[in-house]
Amino acid sequence: MADKVQEIEEIIDKYVTAGKILSQVRSEAKDRIKVGVSLLEIAEFVENRAIELGADGSAFPCNISRNDEAAHATPLAGDTTVFGEDVIKLDLGVHVDGYIADSAITIDLSGDYTDLVKASEAGLEAAIDTVKNGVNTADVGAAIEDAIISHGFKPVGNLTGHGLARYIPHAPPSIPNRRMGMGVELKTGDFIAIEPFATDGVGKVVDGSLTEIFQLVGKKPVRLPAARKLLKELEQYKTLPFAKRWLKSPQLDFALMQLERSGIIHSYPVLKEVGGGMVSQTEHTVIVTDDGCEVTTR
């Protein structure tokens, strides 16, 4: 029993350490995001700085989604795109021995969407105030929706928060951003990422045309040499998502297509608000406790 307790304490400590590292990286990255700055420069800073501060790596590629993009946007290799007067979602994750911290903020470089940013922030704080042992995730979703609507906006209904597991950034349970008829009960010791999205659009996202993030989801024999070489390169990421710009294998586009067709990798297209509305996102990782929760990524 003592060994089990020690193991749990060590796991919690790794989650907490990852959260502290992420908090510092997020703060430093936020200060660097300005009109005219390169998106790729920020993404590489985030991914490299986490390692400098003691993380074992990124839990997923740095997401820099702008305006009507809600999630899954990350720079291309050699990307020369710079920030304009954008509404920017900076979503970052780090891991320590596979134990993940996940957090996001919205930065409004236009100055025109302050209220939209406040809406997702209010949704997150309402959720944090609701979470504790025994609370149903449907109640968390209702708290998020009420807070966002009270600010005059809509939650993005088909995006959710999620549980966290070792080397798995999206695990059960889902944490809805709106009222649901049925949810699951949260338990002390659950590790979850709560991430409200608010919009002045329709309140729904769809897949866009660009895909730069992938994840290894299965293993099976592959015949083509380019696909085999890429699969070998992907082993270092285990089940954590990776960016196409991180990869060095030859015939990369062809190899990625073959692995996806074989069900070995899963792709994450950029998600866009269906009505073209602006989107804000705010996210923290929390540990559920008996009477509330501990936020690891403040």
Q: How far, in Å, CA of 260 to CA of 211, rounded? A: 12
Given the residues 47, 162, 200, 212, the one annotated as active site: 162
Residues 6+ apart with CB under 8 A from 84: 35, 109
Q: How far, in Å, CA of 46 to CA of 22, rounded? A: 9
Q: Do both 113 and 238 map to the same domain?
A: no
Residues 6+ apart with CB under 8 A from 170: 162, 163
Q: What is the pLDDT of residue 4?
A: 79
Q: Do both 150 and 254 map to the same domain?
A: no
Q: Do both 255 and 170 map to the same domain?
A: no
102 included as an active-site residue = yes
Given the residues 68, 69, 86, 91, the one annotated as active site: 91
Q: Name the helix (H) or strand (E) containing 98.
A: none
Q: Do both 145 and 263 map to the same domain?
A: no
Given the residues 68, 69, 273, 283, the one annotated as active site: 283
- With a pLDDT cut of 90, the percent of the chain lying above it is 96
How many domains would you assign to the chain?
2
Average pLDDT over residues 125-129: 98
2: pLDDT strictly greater than 80: no
Average pLDDT over residues 6-21: 96
Q: Do both 113 and 217 map to the same domain?
A: no
Q: What is the pLDDT of residue 14?
A: 98
∠ CA 109-112-114 to the nearest 5 degrees?
Answer: 85
* Environment class of 205 (CB within 10 Å of its CB; exposed 0-12, middle 13-18, buried 19+): buried
91 included as an active-site residue = yes
Q: Do both 19 and 84 map to the same domain?
A: yes
Q: What is the pLDDT of residue 19?
A: 98
Q: Do both 254 and 192 map to the same domain?
A: no
Binding residues for substrate, as ranges, are: 72, 170
Residues 6+ apart with CB under 8 A from 176: 137, 138, 140, 141, 144, 160, 161, 183
Given the residues 170, 190, 273, 284, the one annotated as active site: 170
Give per-residue pLDDT as tens, 79-95.
Answer: 999 999 999 999 999 99
Q: What is the pLDDT of residue 5?
A: 80
CB 278 within 8 A of CB 87: yes
CB 52 within 8 A of CB 63: no
162 included as an active-site residue = yes
Q: How far, in Å, CA of 39 to CA of 74, rounded? A: 8
Q: Do both 246 and 136 map to the same domain?
A: no
Average pLDDT over residues 39-61: 98
42: pLDDT strictly greater than 80: yes
Binding residues, as ranges, are: 72, 91, 102, 162, 170, 195, 283
7 included as an active-site residue = no
Average pLDDT over residues 240-257: 97
200 included as an active-site residue = no
Give per-residue pLDDT as tens, 267-285.
Answer: 999 999 999 999 999 999 9
Q: Do both 121 and 229 map to the same domain?
A: no
pTM of the model: 0.96
Give per-residue pLDDT as tens, 27-37.
Answer: 999 999 999 99
CATH code at position 39: 3.90.230.10
CATH code at position 233: 1.10.10.10
Q: What is the pLDDT of residue 88?
A: 98
257: pLDDT strictly greater than 90: yes
Q: Do both 60 and 177 map to the same domain?
A: yes
Q: How far, in Å, CA of 292 to CA of 163, rounded? A: 16
Q: In which domain, by residue range, is 38 found? A: 2-207+276-295
Q: Do both 144 and 192 map to the same domain?
A: yes
Given the residues 102, 190, 200, 212, the one annotated as active site: 102
Give per-residue pLDDT as tens, 182-228.
Answer: 999 999 999 999 999 999 999 999 999 999 999 999 988 899 999 99
How high is the mean pLDDT of the chain? 97
Binding residues for a divalent metal cation, as ranges, are: 91, 102, 162, 195, 283
Average pLDDT over residues 118-137: 98
Q: What is the pLDDT of residue 3?
A: 78
Q: Do both 74 and 218 map to the same domain?
A: no
